[in-house]
Amino acid sequence: MFGGDRPGGSATSAPGQGALATRTLSKRYGSIVAVDAVDLDLPAGSFFSLLGPSGCGKTTLLRMIAGLEQPDEGTILVDGMDITRLSPERRPFNMVFQRYALFPHLSVFDNVAFGLTTARSERPPRDEVRRRVGDMLALVGLEGLERRWPGQLSGGQQQRVAVARALIRHPRVLLLDEPMSALDRNVRHQVREELLRIHSELGTTFLLVTHDQDEALSISGMVALMNQGHLEQVAKPETLYRRPATLFAARFIGAGTFLDVSIVARSPSVVAVDLAGIRFGAEDTGLTGDRATVLLRPEEVKVTDPGAGRVDGRVLTCTFFGSYYELTASTACGTFRLRDTHLHAPGDAIGVAWPETAGIAYESTPAPPAIIEDIAPPGGPEA
């Protein structure tokens, strides 16, 4: 799932090469800080995702970039030019709206052509409009539907029209506001691949807002994880999954076991921790106190015969995921999430093992409400 080439992987582009940057961009609604001093750098040509739980400010951030909301503070830069106060029609971005927002009174052709006909000067001639609309409809696979009305199209087709309509102006950045949330699950997967294909065909920078981590991790070259208005971590999907920078990131991305441990010794990047008498090493993330929360990913934890692992437990649930089963097991040290290749019945006695050095240790914070409990790990059967 993480394989393949990823056009957005070039996160290390030199300053000035970025398609878009924001500096200390902020938005408040009354006493609520929706977006809190965000510095975002979008590498040119990348497929960039803004990921976060609902209410984290990602949509507000996107709408400020589009010019549909005015920031209270901060700047938006394109090629070093400040466009913060530019009205939306003058910005070099185009947006795909969550519910598509197609013009109900215009045909598919006129919807897609709309962006070419708004300029007060240098309106392209009819032939060129016809050609470019045709190209766009071919790009999104909707040839022959020019004369249909939006109301006669399926959700997936409407979305393709929305993408074609936004791309026809050759935007510097294509903004996508949760474009797949209104689609059926199986259509969603198809649309995901279509977007990837269009992205690599055009080389346009894509900025996708989503709350669906599978979507963000599988589709984008770079992911910015947002939480309560600020950027929690900006990284490649692999990094976000394997080395989450904060406990919030660790809890939000993927699944795992979270263990409350005490720290018994420190070495340069690894801390030795104690979990009710069990000692092991975990990666240090700059801990200061003497307690920590350790994340173990399910694939790091193995099922053994009872007595052969570090701790014994009983199976609570066992879920089929195609090539593996994911188990939850209760032990004296807490509930573990782990993987195995064969089925276990609830109640079975098992041993739980993990390597000498495993997982990442974070400064302990109270666990957030269980909004992320049941999100399948990337690579689940639907992916």
Partner 1 sequence: MSGRGGIPWLAITCFVLIVFLYAPLLVATLYAFNSGNRLVWPPEGLSLRWFGHVFGDELFMKAFSTSMSAALITAVVSCSIGTIASLVFTRRSTRIARLVEALGRLPVMLPPLFIGIGFVALMKATTLSPSMTTIVAGHTIIVLPFVILIVAARLRTYEIEVEQAARDLGATPIQVIVRVTLPIIAPAIFGAFLVAFAFSFDELLITNFTSGTQSTVPIYVLGRLRRLVDPSANAVAVILLLIPWIAFGIGQVVLKRLTGSGLSDTLMRQGR
Residues 103-132 binding partner 1 (CB under 8 A) are: 103-105, 114-115, 118-120
148 contacts partner 1 (rule: CB under 8 A): no
149 contacts partner 1 (rule: CB under 8 A): yes
Q: How far apart are CB 107 and partner 1 at their closest, in Å?
A: 8
Q: How far apart are CB 4 and partner 1 at their closest, in Å?
A: 31
Position among 148, 169, 189, 242 found at the interface with partner 1 (CB under 8 A): 169
29 contacts partner 1 (rule: CB under 8 A): no
Measured between alpha carbons, how far is 345 from 348 in angstroms, rounded to an integer? 6
341 contacts partner 1 (rule: CB under 8 A): no
Position among 7, 9, 55, 88 found at the interface with partner 1 (CB under 8 A): 88
User: What does 133-187 look like in DSSP terms, one character per residue?
Assistant: HHHHHHHTT-TT-TT--GGGS-HHHHHHHHHHHHHTT--SEEEEESTTTTS-HHH
Q: How many residues bind partner 1 (CB under 8 A)?
A: 26
**Considering beta carbons, is residue 115 or 254 the nearer one to partner 1?**
115
Which structure tokens are listed for 324? 């593996």
Position among 99, 230, 242, 243 found at the interface with partner 1 (CB under 8 A): 99
Closest listed residue to residue 62, CA positions, set 17, 25, 33: 25
Position among 11, 68, 86, 278 found at the interface with partner 1 (CB under 8 A): 68
Q: How far apart are CB 69 and partner 1 at their closest, in Å?
A: 10
Contact (CB, 8 A) for 156 and 187: yes
Specify which residues 210 forms β-bridges with. 51
Q: How far apart are CB 104 and partner 1 at their closest, in Å?
A: 5
Closest listed residue to residue 101, CA positions, set 63, 47, 57, 130: 63
Please, what sign has the CA dihedral across residues 148, 152, 153, 155?
A: positive
- Given the rule CB under 8 A, which of 64-72, 125-133, 242-250, 257-265 is the region that contacts partner 1? 64-72
Measured between alpha carbons, how far is 230 from 60 in angstroms, rounded to an integer? 12
358 contacts partner 1 (rule: CB under 8 A): no
Which structure tokens are listed for 221? 């070259």
**Considering beta carbons, is residue 111 or 227 the nearer one to partner 1?**
111
Give the CB-side neighbour count of residue 214, counting CA atoms within 13 A.
Answer: 17
Position among 49, 94, 213, 257 found at the interface with partner 1 (CB under 8 A): 94
User: What does 331-371 look like in DSSP terms, one character per residue?
Assistant: ETTEEEEEEESS---TT-EEEEE--SEEEEEEE--PPPPSS
Residues that bind partner 1 (CB under 8 A): 66-68, 87-89, 93-95, 97, 99, 101-105, 114-115, 118-120, 149, 151, 165-166, 169
